[in-house]
Amino acid sequence: MNTKQKPSAWVDPDDAPAWTAADFEAAQYRVGDQEVTRAAAVAEVRRRLRGPGKKPAKIPTTLRIAPDTLAAWKASGAGWQTRMAESLAAHAPRAKAR
């Protein structure tokens, strides 16, 4: 038997009104438990953004390594990728001066 469904009181959170400039000015900004200015909150968000922060940026690559060698690096603890990169850099061939 077909019956009409009753309208729901549920409101989609995506239907929330967009914030205006006045809303942003009136808002309270916090970093952790500390209330901060809007400028300080924006600066903190920018500081936390991901991405290369150092120049030159590192380049992702694929490298085939023996399983036991990789296991040994991983077993050396957190930061093993950085230590491996430093070791490779220390043993990299240097360009010969002409």
pLDDT in tens, 74-97: 999 999 999 999 999 999 988 776
Rounded Cα–Cα distance for residues 73 and 65 (Å): 11
Scored b (16 or more CB within 10 A) or e, 63-78 reads eeeeeeeeeeeeeeee
Contact between residue 41 and residue 31 where contact means Cβ atoms under 8 Å apart: yes
pTM above 0.75, yes or no: no
pLDDT in tens, 18-75: 889 999 889 999 998 999 999 999 888 888 887 666 677 778 889 999 999 999 999 9
Say whether 36 sits in a helix, a strand or coil: strand
Is residue 47 exposed (0-12), middle (13-18) or buried (19+ Cβ within 10 Å)? exposed
